[in-house]
């Protein structure tokens, strides 16, 4: 019997994409394919692409072109496959298959057809699939952490965002399905589960008729895992019931990832986020009062069409006033297929960059101050890496989410994937420094 070909993966984009990659690896491995991290040795390379903004597309295209120039047979999956299926087939003869965001679970069938010499294009126009706890999965994160997708797709239509076009409308998993997967992950030694979807606060609305995030958090409180973190919690969905569930469920971290996008009501309305216009200040103040000590991270877009100097100044003041723990700032990227693409008053790139730098400069002393508050404290740190040359350990405290926030650099001894007490001895704008502290 002929041995099955070897397949390597090149992963780009967000953690939602990462879960798709993990399921594809799991499905292919289950079907007997060799999955290798070395692209040079592989017969095929699956590139899971991102198409969220222009910079992401450029990175995806660079990766595809490099592989094509190395004469690799490429399978293109993910958001860019969904977005530009025909263009990719036309431009890249090396692409043996194109697989959309709602079709990645058919990767084994695709590879079988490719092996017969077929060129496969499998892109459902409206993605409806969502994997569950029964779908094979091979985790690619560090051993102590796992992402858990509670829903896929989005029912909102923000003027700047292409995601609903690429991922379809919201479809939630049941509470039972999510809890079953969380228990599975806990049994594998996972210490931190990160709940993700496009809008986590809308979880369950499509299957239960109303959002059920509070009930989900309480159900996950029964799972034996120390940290449960939420991403993409829209501020308007952090109802008193959800806030109470965060407060009363010990393993749910009081970490609020609020994609606010802007502060000025006029820009929020232009972004088609009218539910937020004029109430951002009140929401942030209410959350701070209800969850004192909660970590707050947010993201903003500068340079949305029509953004004036006055709007930009409003955002700057908002950032200074609320003192978020972590802030990410993106410059507006005009996406074909979204309403904002053809809006008048597009902002020149150099002005957008200037506004982005101004917000980041305003945030830096705030982030430094927040980090310095940890100095002298003993905090729990999840150890994720070891620097082989120095023996220094690298991890994260509950204040830091992977890849988007800072790190904790630790001296001393601890097992990878364990949570240990660390005495914080130093801080800079992004990171903390400390030593393992076992003097109980």
Instruction: Give DSSP secondary structure letters for 130-182.
Output: ---TTS-----S-TTEEEEE-EES-S---TT--HHHHH-S-EEPPHHHHHHHH
Q: 311-333: b or e for each residue (b if 16 or more CB lie within 10 Å)? A: bbebbbebbeebbbbbbbbbbbb
H or E stretch including 432?
strand 432-436
Per-residue DSSP letter, 231 = -
Q: Measured at the alpha carbon of residue 46, what is the angle toward residues 42 and 52, in degrees to the nearest 5?
A: 150
H or E stretch including 350?
helix 349-372
Per-residue DSSP letter, 308 = -
Dihedral angle, C-alpha 179, 184, 187, 188, nearest 10 °: -130
Please list, in sequence order, all residues whose beta carbon lies within 8 angstroms of the beta carbon of residue 147, skipping any fewer than 6 positions away.
Answer: 15, 16, 18, 19, 141, 193, 194, 196
Per-residue DSSP letter, 399 = T
Structure token digits, residue 46? 């699956």
- Find the farthest-apart pair of alpha carbons in the chain and give their distance in angstroms, rounded: 70
Annotated binding site: 14, 50, 79, 154, 158, 161
Q: What is the distance of C-alpha 231 from the center of its chain?
A: 7
Annotated binding site for [4Fe-4S] cluster: 14, 50, 79, 154, 158, 161
**Is residue 355 within 8 Å of 333, Cβ to Cβ?**
no
**Is residue 204 within 8 Å of 254, Cβ to Cβ?**
no
**How far, CA to CA in Å, does 247 sit from each of 212, 221, 252, 398, 420?**
16, 11, 8, 15, 23
Residue with tokens 């986590």: 200
């Amino acid at each position: 019997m002929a041995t099955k070909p070897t397949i390597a993966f090149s992963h780009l984009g967000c953690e939602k994409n990462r879960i798709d990659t993990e399921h594809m690896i799991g499905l292919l491995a289950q079907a007997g394919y060799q999955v290798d991290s070395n692209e040079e040795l592989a017969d095929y390379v699956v590139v899971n692409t991102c198409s969220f903004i222009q910079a992401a597309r450029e990175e995806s295209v660079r990766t595809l072109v490099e592989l094509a120039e190395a004469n690799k047979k490429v399978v293109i999956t993910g958001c860019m496959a969904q977005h530009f299926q025909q263009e990719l087939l036309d431009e890249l003869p090396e692409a043996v298959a194109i697989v959309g965001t709602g079709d990645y679970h058919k990767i084994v069938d695709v590879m079988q057809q490719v092996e017969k010499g077929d060129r496969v294009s499998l892109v459902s126009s409206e993605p409806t699939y969502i994997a569950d706890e029964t779908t094979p999965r091979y985790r690619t994160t560090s051993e102590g952490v796992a992402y858990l997708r509670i829903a896929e797709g989005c029912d909102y239509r923000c003027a700047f965002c292409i995601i609903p076009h690429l991922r379809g409308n919201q479809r939630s998993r049941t509470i039972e399905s999510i809890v079953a997967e969380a228990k599975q992950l806990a049994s594998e030694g996972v210490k931190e589960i990160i709940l993700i979807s496009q809008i986590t606060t809308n979880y369950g609305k499509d299957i239960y008729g109303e959002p059920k995030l509070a009930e989900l958090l309480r159900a996950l409180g029964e799972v034996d895992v120390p940290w449960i973190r939420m991403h993409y919690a829209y501020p308007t969905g952090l109802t008193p019931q959800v806030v109470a569930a965060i407060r009363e469920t010990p393993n749910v971290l009081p970490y609020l990832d609020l994609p606010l996008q802007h502060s000025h009501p006029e820009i929020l309305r232009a972004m088609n986020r009218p539910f937020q216009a004029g109430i951002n200040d009140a929401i942030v103040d209410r959350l701070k009062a209800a969850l004192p000590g909660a970590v707050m991270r947010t993201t903003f877009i500068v340079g949305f069409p029509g953004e004036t100097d006055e709007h930009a100044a409003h955002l700057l003041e908002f950032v200074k006033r609320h003192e978020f723990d972590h802030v990410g700032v993106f410059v507006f990227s005009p996406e074909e297929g979204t309403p904002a693409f053809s809006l008048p008053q597009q902002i020149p790139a150099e002005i957008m960059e200037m506004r982005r730098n101004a917000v980041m400069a305003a945030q830096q002393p705030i982030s430094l101050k927040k980090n310095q508050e940890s100095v002298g404290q003993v905090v729990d740190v999840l150890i994720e890496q070891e620097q082989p040359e120095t023996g220094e350990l690298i991890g994260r405290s509950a204040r830091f989410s992977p890849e988007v926030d800072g790190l904790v650099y630790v001296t001393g001894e601890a097992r990878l994937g364990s949570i240990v007490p660390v005495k914080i001895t130093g801080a800079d704008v992004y990171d903390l420094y400390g030593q393992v502290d076992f003097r109980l």
